[in-house]
A and B are shown apart, each in its own frame.
Chain A
Amino acid sequence: MLTLENVRKAYGARVAVDDLSFEVRAGEVFGLLGPNGAGKSTTVSLGVGLLEPDAGRVDLGGLGAPTRPEVRARLGVAPQALALYEDLTAEENLRFFARIFGLRGTALAGRVEAALALAGLTDRRAERAVTFSGGMKRRLNIAAALVHEPSLVLLDEPTVGVDPQSRNAILDRIVALRDAGLTVIYTTHYMEEAARICDRVAIIDHGRLLALDTVDALIARHGGDPVLVATTSGGTHRESTPDPVAALARLAATATVLDFHVERADLEHVFLRLTGRSLRD
C-alpha cells in the first residue's frame, strides 16, 4: 500500500528520518512507535506528501509519490497538532473537508453524518469547534481524516487527551474500518493501544528503523525471558528465565515461597531494550 524506500529527510543539519525503509500492507493497522523526536511525524508527513524526501522514494500503491494530487485523493491524515477551523461548527468542518476531497450531494451528507457519529459529536454538530473540549477536538480531528473514505489513513497520535470510553470507541471503530479494508498507519505513545490494534509495529528512533514485526514476534524476539518474582522468607527473589515454572520449582525446594508472579515481557520492554529509554519520558 505505502512503500518507503531508503527515505531520508533532514531539517538543516538535523536528520529527522534516516535511510528509512518499510512497506505498509493493504488492510493492516501499521503502528509507528518511537520516543519524542524519533521522526514519527516527519515520516507521516513524508507519507502523505506534505514533505518531499531528500533522498529515497515514497510510493502509494504503485500510483507514485503522494505529492501528486490524484494519489492524495486516496489519503487521509489526522495531524498530531489539531487541524480544524475553530470558528466553524463540527459539521461545517467536516463538510468543508469532504468538499475539498470532491464529495458532493447525498454522498457528502451521508459521509458527514457517519463521521459525526464516529466522533460522537452528532448531538453537538452545530456547535463551533472552539467550544469543544480537547478530547472532542481530537475526535473531530480524526473524523476529518476519515470523512472522505480514504483507502489509507495516517493517524498521528490521535488519542492523546481522549477519555477511556471515547478511546475505546475510536479504537473499535478503527479496527472495524480495517476489517472493511482500510489501511491505517498509527503513531502512538500508548503501548497498550499499539498492542491492541496494530497488526505490525515499526519501532524507530533517531529516524532509523530498529525493528518491524507483529507485536508477539517483537516480544518474543526482543522482550527477553519472562521474569519470575517470588517472595520468600528470605526476601524478594527476581529471576529472568525462559522456564519460570522450573525456576519456581527449584526455588520452592530451597525456601518457603510466600507469594510469586511471572512478569512477561510486553511492548514496553521491547521498546526499552531497543531504544535504551522509556517512551513516557
Chain B
Amino acid sequence: MHAILTIAAKDLRLLARNRGHLVFTFVWPLVTALFFGTIFGGNGDDSGKIPVLLVDEDASEGSAALLAAVGRLSGVDAKANVEGRAAALGAVRRGDATAAVIAPKGYGAAGDRLFAGDPPVIELHVDPSRTAEAAMLEGQLMGAAMERLSDVFAGGERSVRVVDRALVEANTAARPDPVLTGFLGEVKRFVGTRTQASADAAGPAEGGAWRPVAITRHDVKDERDGPRSGYEVSLPQGVIWGMIGCALGFAMGLVNERTRGTLSRLCTSPIGRAHVLAGKGVACFIALVAVQVMLFVLGAVALGVVPGSLPRLIVAGLSLAIAFVGLMMVVATFARSEQSASGLAWALFLPLSMLGGGMVPLFALPGWMQTAGTFSPIKWGILALEGALWRGFGWAELALPCGVLLAVGLVGFGVAARRFDRTA
C-alpha cells in the first residue's frame, strides 16, 4: 500500500508541474461547460431575476398594493397570474417559475386591523430545493409589507381610519396594553397633522412578537422532468471533458514512463508491476475527483446548478472516476508511444463521447445514435450525473448507470493489468 501511495504522490506532483496537463484537466472542462451551457440556453431567463407569480385572492386595496410592491422589487421578475392559485402552483411545480406569492382571502382586512388580532398572512410557495431564493424572497416580501405599512403612516383618510380602528381594538382588548394605546394615541396625532410620516416601523416592533405580516412558506414538490437551465446539461458534459483530459494526461504519463525508462527502473524494484499500475490509478482517481469537485462547486456557485441530491452526486461522481481510471489504463497499456497514446485516446473517446452525449446532449441526437450510445460509458456517466443533479433519480435508478461505470472501471483495470504484466 505504501508503494502505491508513494507512486500516486509522485504522479500528482508531476501533474501539478505539467502546465499543459493542468489546463486540459481543469480549464478546458470549464470552458466546455460554459460554452455548451450558454449555447443550450443558459439560465432559461436572461435577466437573472427570480421568476415569481403573484395571485391576489383577496382583491382588496391592501393586497393589490402589496403585490404591486412585490412587483417593484429588484431581483424579482413578477407576473400577476390571472388564472389563480392552481395554475400558479402548477407553474412552480413544473419549474416555469421559482415561487408563487399568494395573498389569501382576508389579507386586506387583517392588514387594516394593524396592531390587533393575527397579522395578515402572505403565502410563499416555493420549490424546496431553492432555499437561497426562498430566503431572499421571504426577506423581500417582509420588506414590501413594511413598505405597505409605512403608507399607513403617510397620512390621509385611510391612515386616520386605520389608526382609529386600531385604538378601539387596543382599548377593548381583554388586557389593554398601556404602552400600545399610548403609542397609538401618538400615532393618531401624528397622522392627523398630516406631517410626512417616517417609514420607520421600529416603534410598533417594541411590542415584541408583533409583525406587520406573517409569511407562511409552503414547499412545492418539484415535478419537472427537464433541466432547470442549459448549464444543468452542459455541466455534466464539462465534467466528462474534464475526465477525458485528466485521464488522457495520466495515460500519457504512463506511456512516458515506458519511453523514458523510469518504468523499467520501477520494474527492477521490489514492488510489483500491479503496484505501479495501481499507484497511477490512485493518482488518476484523486485527480479525477478533484476535477469534479472543482467543476461542481463552480457550477453551484457560478452557474446555479445545485444538485438535487448530494449523496447521489457523490456516488455518481466516484463511479464515473473509477470508470475513467479503467479507460485510462487501457489506453496507457495498449499504446507504445505518446503519439499512439493520444491517437488511441481520441479514437476511443471521441466516438464514445459523441454517442454518449458528451458533445451534443443525448436528447438532441437522432434515435439510432441514442441507441448506439448505450454502448458508451460516457452516456452512463452523464446519466448518473444528471440523475443526481436534476433528474431526481432514487438509489434504485442510480444503480444501473453507476453499476455500468464501476464495471467499465474494473474491466479496464483487469485488462490493463494483464497486458501490463506481459509488456512492461
| A and B are partners in one complex rather than unrelated chains | yes
Binding site for B on A (CB under 8 A): 45, 48-50, 66, 69-70, 72-73, 75-77, 79, 81-88, 92, 96-97, 99-102, 128, 144
Most buried by A among B3, B7, B264: B264
Q: Which 5 pairs show the lowest CB-CB distances between chains A and B?
A: A83-B261, A73-B270, A83-B265, A69-B270, A87-B17
Chain A residues with Cβ below 8 Å from B262 are 83-85
Q: Taking the complex as formed, is B175 at the interface, i.e. its CB lies under 8 A from any CB of chain A?
A: no
Given known pairs A69-B271, A72-B270, A102-B270, the reply for A97 and B265 (CB within 8 Å) is: yes
Q: B13 and A77: CB pair below 8 A?
A: no
Q: B268 and A75: CB pair below 8 A?
A: yes
Q: Taking the complex as formed, is B272 at the interface, i.e. its CB lies under 8 A from any CB of chain A?
A: yes
Most buried by A among B3, B13, B260, B269: B269
Tell me the nearest residue of chain A to B279, going by C-beta: A100
CB distance from A12 to the nearest CB of B (A): 15
Chain B residues with Cβ below 8 Å from A69 are 270-272
Q: Which of A79, A99, A100, A101 makes the CB contact (< 8 A) with B264?
A: A79
CB distance from A89 to the nearest CB of B (A): 10
Given contacts A72-B270, A84-B260, 5 further A-B contacts (CB under 8 A): A69-B272, A73-B270, A76-B268, A79-B261, A96-B10
| CA of A83 to CA of B256, assembled, Å | 11
Q: B261 and A82: CB pair below 8 A?
A: yes
Q: Which of B2, B3, B265, B272 makes the CB contact (< 8 A) with A144?
A: B265
Q: B14 and A87: CB pair below 8 A?
A: yes
12 contacting pairs across A/B (C-beta < 8 A): A50-B267, A66-B268, A69-B271, A73-B269, A76-B268, A77-B265, A79-B261, A81-B260, A81-B261, A87-B14, A101-B270, A102-B270
Tell me the nearest residue of chain B to A92, going by C-beta: B13
Chain A residues with Cβ below 8 Å from B3 are 99-100
Chain A residues with Cβ below 8 Å from B371 are none
CB distance from A131 to the nearest CB of B (A): 12
Most buried by A among B2, B262, B265: B265
Chain A residues with Cβ below 8 Å from B374 are none
| CA of A45 to CA of B266, assembled, Å | 13
Q: Taking the complex as formed, is B193 at the interface, i.e. its CB lies under 8 A from any CB of chain A?
A: no
Chain A residues with Cβ below 8 Å from B17 are 87-88, 128
Most buried by B among A66, A97, A144: A97
Chain A residues with Cβ below 8 Å from B2 are 99
Q: Taking the complex as formed, is B18 at the interface, i.e. its CB lies under 8 A from any CB of chain A?
A: yes
Tell me the nearest residue of chain B to A99, going by C-beta: B6
Chain B residues with Cβ below 8 Å from A70 are 270
CB distance from A156 to the nearest CB of B (A): 11
Given known pairs A82-B261, A96-B6, the reply for A50 and B268 (CB within 8 Å) is: yes
| CA of A102 to CA of B275, assembled, Å | 13
Q: B268 and A48: CB pair below 8 A?
A: yes
| CA of A96 to CA of B270, assembled, Å | 14
| CA of A73 to CA of B265, assembled, Å | 12
Chain B residues with Cβ below 8 Å from A72 are 268-270
Tell me the nearest residue of chain B to A144, going by C-beta: B265
| CA of A70 to CA of B269, assembled, Å | 9
| CA of A49 to CA of B272, assembled, Å | 12
| CA of A99 to CA of B18, assembled, Å | 23
CB distance from A82 to the nearest CB of B (A): 7
Interface string of B236-273 (1 = CB under 8 A from A): 00000000000000000000000011101111111110
| CA of A87 to CA of B2, assembled, Å | 22
CB distance from B249 to the nearest CB of A (A): 13
**Which residues of B57-107 have CB atoms within 8 Å of chain A's CB atoms?**
none
| CA of A180 to CA of B270, assembled, Å | 23
| CA of A60 to CA of B18, assembled, Å | 40
| CA of A69 to CA of B269, assembled, Å | 7
Chain A residues with Cβ below 8 Å from B268 are 48-50, 66, 72, 75-77
Q: B260 and A100: CB pair below 8 A?
A: no
Chain B residues with Cβ below 8 Å from A79 are 261, 264-265
Chain A residues with Cβ below 8 Å from B266 are 100
Chain B residues with Cβ below 8 Å from A49 are 268
Q: Which of A84, A100, A128 makes the CB contact (< 8 A) with B269?
A: A100
CB distance from A86 to the nearest CB of B (A): 8
Chain B residues with Cβ below 8 Å from A73 are 269-270
Q: B10 and A85: CB pair below 8 A?
A: yes
Tell me the nearest residue of chain A to B261, going by C-beta: A83
CB distance from B6 to the nearest CB of A (A): 5
Chain B residues with Cβ below 8 Å from A96 are 6, 10
| CA of A96 to CA of B8, assembled, Å | 11
CB distance from B349 to the nearest CB of A (A): 25
Given known pairs A48-B268, A100-B271, the reply for A83 and B260 (CB within 8 Å) is: yes
Chain B residues with Cβ below 8 Å from A77 are 264-265, 268
| CA of A82 to CA of B264, assembled, Å | 11
Q: Which of A45, A76, A82, A100 makes the CB contact (< 8 A) with B6?
A: A100
Tell me the nearest residue of chain B to A76, going by C-beta: B268
| CA of A255 to CA of B264, assembled, Å | 64
CB distance from B210 to the nearest CB of A (A): 68
